[in-house]
Amino acid sequence: MRTQQNHSNGASIAWALLAVTAAYFLLGIGIAQAQQDVPVIRNGFRGSMRRAPTLVEKAVAGVEGPEESLLFRPMSLFFDSEGSLYVADSGQHAILIYGRDGRFRSRIGRKGEGPGEFRMPAVSYISWDGELVVEDPGNQRRSYFTMEGKFVRSESLGPVFMSGRPIKTVPGEYIRPGQGGVVVRMSMGGGGGSDEEEEVPGLLEVIDSQGNVKLKIGTRKEHENRMIGMLINRITMAYAPPDHLVACFQNANEIHIYNRTTGQLERIITRRLAFNPKEPEMGMETESSTAPGGGEMVMVRAIPDVDPISDNVAVDPEGRVWVLTHLTTSAVADEKETEGDFEGLMRIEIFSLDGELLATVPLYFAPSMISFDPFGDLWLVDTRESLSARRFEVEWP
């Protein structure tokens, strides 16, 4: 019965997301128009393979164990100071917690509408007060727990969906998505904001520990010319200590480097673009996940035909920017003609903050999330094949 319900819920959610995607696209909600006076660093696919690091797998989480410990539809991840991995899993309707060795430790929450229960949690993180915070769009609320998993309180979110997570910067500050690009209102006319500048949310925002907006970085009005809907052009972000914020536009293939203090866009790193941003050709992509105990959840997405696709971004302890790059078959054909040794559709591209392409790392599986834990190890989350979280030690030559 549970499997059938998961499948039905998944199909409904998939069609709802597809409908909202189409609506936003037709409304022409745009983002990510580059400022004319900002330096643009253009890169191809080629990196110096002599400097490429080796990824040594150390642990795998979420694929073995009891049903309650298996990954189903991971949406976001973060780490505590001990390196434990927290995964907001919308399919399990819970926060799953794993050790650095990949072993399942515990879970918080279950499906429902009561205190401490979730409906497709999308984001979890630790507040400056040391509480575990869970963004729960299905119940349109934000819930707070102790780090031991005891429910504390909840507050209303309204009809919003968080597709990005707050990131701690200096003590007392978060950088988090604003409604200009990453927070999507699940209503046809939502996310529009006001023409009054003080009421227009930032594309990214710096928030202090009291919830006050200290700095707005970009607005929808400033980024409207690309005509790519918010659901279509997902933005991921990372903090590059001590002074920079990195925003990666999934389908625009742009990496924006911002100053954390002033909000100034300092440079734009671009890769090959294969679409007209004002009139993009659209494609359909279907992604399925196997439910614990069997069954399947299917997600259908409309995406622009673009080469490559930037799935996710992270910054390593040395300040290098790691971008998960998803190539199409046409790109692979071009790559083989010029390089002759490409091993797959997925790779990591590593950039300096100055925009130099340092290295490319071919991958043997297809992750969709990338992050570094407090000890400098790389975690890749596979949502397309084995539904696993894998920890790698990074060895540079």
Q: What is the pLDDT of residues 321-341, one digit of tens each?
A: 999 987 765 555 555 544 433
**H, E, C per residue of 331-397:** HHHHHHHHCCCCCCCEEEEEECCCCCEEEEEECCCCCCEEEECCCCCEEEEECCCCCEEEEEEEECC
Structure token digits, residue 201: 């949310």
Q: With a threshold of 0.85, does the pTM exceed it? A: no
**What are φ and ψ of residue 329, in 5° steps?**
-65, -30
For residues 129 and 174, the answer to whether their CB atoms sit within 8 Å is: no
Closest to 161 (Cα-Cα) out of 253, 79, 216, 90: 90
pLDDT of residue 17: 44
Question: Phi and psi dihedrals of 223, rounded to 5?
Answer: -115, 20
Taking Cα atoms as reference points, which of 39, 24, 42, 44 lies closest to residue 304?
24
Q: How far lies 3's CA from each of 65, 88, 285, in Å? A: 18, 19, 23
For the domain made up of 2-395, give the CATH fold: Neuraminidase (2.120.10)
**Which regions in the chain score pLDDT beneath 50?**
1-35, 180-198, 225-231, 275, 337-342
* DSSP SS3 for 323: strand
Q: Residue 31: its pLDDT value, please? A: 33
Rg (CA), the chain: 20
All structural domains of the chain with their residue ranges? 2-395
Among residues 122, 142, 141, 118, which one has the least CA distance to residue 132? 142
- pLDDT given at position 223: 54
